[in-house]
Amino acid sequence: MPGPDSNSWDPLNFVTQTVFERVDWMGVSKKMGAGKIRSREMILSDANQNVIMRAVRIQSSKGQEPYSASNPAPSSALVLERDVPVPELKPGQVLVRVHATTVTRDELTWPESYHHELRIPGYDFSGVVEKVCEEGRFKPRDEVYAMVSTKRGSTWAEYAMVEEDELALKPKNLSWAEGVTVPLNALTAWQALFVQAGVPEPDFDAAAKVSTGRTLLVTGSSGAVGSYIVQLAVFAGLQVVAASSSTERNDAFLRSLGAHEVVEYDELSIVKRSFDIVIDTVGGKPLAQAWDLVTDAGSLISVDSSSFNFAKTPPAGKEHVKAVFFIVEPSGKQLGKLAKALEMEYVRPFLAETFLLDEAKEAYERANGRMDKRGKVVLKL
């Protein structure tokens, strides 16, 4: 029978007979005798080879109205379960053993949180490839990270299933917790700049940044998405003005990211210039003011979910502005490019705090409260 050091050894296909082996998380086997097999709460059944795992699920509502985006679950509905089926692979998919996943503010208010059959939150992870369905770009033991489709989610679990084209090798210089802070937020920034606004992608192998002469205003610039927009835009050669709620609190931080100027929202109404690109991450009044600040043929991009229809009625004279609201899409190719930027330290991530999987309730409450540290809240497995 192959051991854990054998290339053919696969814990997900491991069949037990009269003697069970306990497989610990580091790949060490110990004979235990007949009985249940648990490996970090993962159970292998010798009858049908089904595997179950630990995962955090949204419990069903105890009231008459089911939980939904209009009736979001409270944090108390987040429950750790120990008998959730591991996802079954289909062609083009990869099974990843999750080492870390992120907790996003207001995630339980997203419609997608209630569309998944298992109702497991989470949309990004860092981890190790456990199994591939067919030969492709990734192999078992590869260290990877990804954002998964919002139609699938389910990363607050010991295992996650991901499409191969959503996956990329994790930056070598980042820990599991640091790496997982990247996908959702950095992809949003990347797609806002280089897809929606049409800024040419930077060459991270170039010896020096090349100025394009174009100007960019970023709202919510010190936030999880905004901080990546600032860093990427500066490297792409844009002149970046970072708008923030408080220059006293955020000026030094934003300038450390490369911002050329930092202004407060209250100052936007007196800014006497126009910007080629405005990227909004907060909506509300700053987005309304942005129409007056973008050039007549410029780009106005918003990722604020409450502003999804802002582009339908442009003000007079702004009919030729490219006004777009978009939702980020998974992209392993873009994550691969971001990995290079992170490894070369042109871009840096921000990790606020880590919790264990069984502390998901507390982690969600922390992510939705006032945080002293910048960055993402992470669940470590």
SS (H, E, C) the chain: CCCCCCCCCCCCCCCCCCCCEEECCCCCEEECCCCCCEECCEEECCCCCCEEEEEEEECCCCCCCCCCCCCCCCHHHEEEEEEEECCCCCCCEEEEEEEEEEECCCHHHCHHHHCCCCCCCCCEEEEEEEEECCCCCCCCCCEEEEECCCCCCCCCECEEEEEHHHEEECCCCCCHHHHHCCHHHHHHHHHHHHHHCCCCCCCCCCCCCCCCCCEEEECCCCCCCHHHHHHHHHHCCCEEEEEECCHHHHHHHHHHCCCCEEEEHHHHHHCCCCEEEEEECCCHHHHHHHHHHEEEEEEEEECCHHHCCHHHCCCCCCCCCEEEECCCCCCHHHHHHHHHHHHCCCCCCCEEEEEEHHHHHHHHHHHCCCCCCCCEEEEEC
Q: Is the dihedral of CA 314, 315, 319, 323 positive or negative?
A: negative
Q: 207 pLDDT band (50/70/90 cuts)?
A: low
pLDDT on residue 54: 97
pLDDT at 235 over 80: yes
More confident residue, 44 or 114: 114
What end-to-end distance do the CA atoms of the chain give, in Å?
29
Once rounded to an integer, what is the mean pLDDT over residues 56-75?
Answer: 87
Residues comprising the chain, all counted: 381
Give the CA count within 13 Å in the CB-facing half-sphere of 263: 17
* Burial (CB count within 10 angstroms: exposed 0-12, middle 13-18, buried 19+), residue 310: buried
More confident residue, 306 or 1: 306
pLDDT at 350 over 50: yes
For the full predicted model, state whether its pTM sits above 0.75: yes
pLDDT at 39 over 80: no
Where in the chain do CATH 3.40.50.720 domains reside? 186-325
Average pLDDT, the chain: 85
pLDDT at 232 over 80: yes
Rounded to whole angstroms, the Cα distance separating 132 from 29 reads 22
Q: 5 pLDDT band (50/70/90 cuts)?
A: very low
Element (H, E) at 323: strand 322-325
pLDDT at 15 over 80: no
Rounded to whole angstroms, the Cα distance separating 237 from 48 reads 57
pLDDT on residue 96: 97
Residue whose entry in the numeric block shows the structure tokens 């999987």? 357
**Closest listed residue to residue 376, CA positions, set 361, 359, 355:** 355
- pLDDT > 70: what percent of the chain? 86
Highest mean pLDDT among 17-26, 200-209, 252-261, 304-313: 252-261
pLDDT on residue 250: 94
pLDDT at 71 over 80: yes
Rounded to whole angstroms, the Cα distance separating 136 from 94 reads 10
Structure-token pair, residue 117: 């059959």
Q: 23 pLDDT band (50/70/90 cuts)?
A: very low
- Residue range 271-295, pLDDT digits in tens: 778 999 999 999 999 999 999 999 9
- Residue range 113-168, pLDDT digits in tens: 877 777 999 999 999 999 998 888 999 999 999 999 988 889 999 999 999 999 99
Instruction: Please give the CATH topology (third level) of the domain spanning 50-182+349-380.
Output: Quinone Oxidoreductase; Chain A, domain 1 (3.90.180)
More confident residue, 213 or 171: 171
pLDDT on residue 40: 38
pLDDT on residue 344: 94
Instruction: Please give the CATH topology (third level) of the domain spanning 186-325.
Output: Rossmann fold (3.40.50)
pLDDT at 25 over 70: no
Where in the chain do CATH 3.90.180.10 domains reside? 50-182+349-380
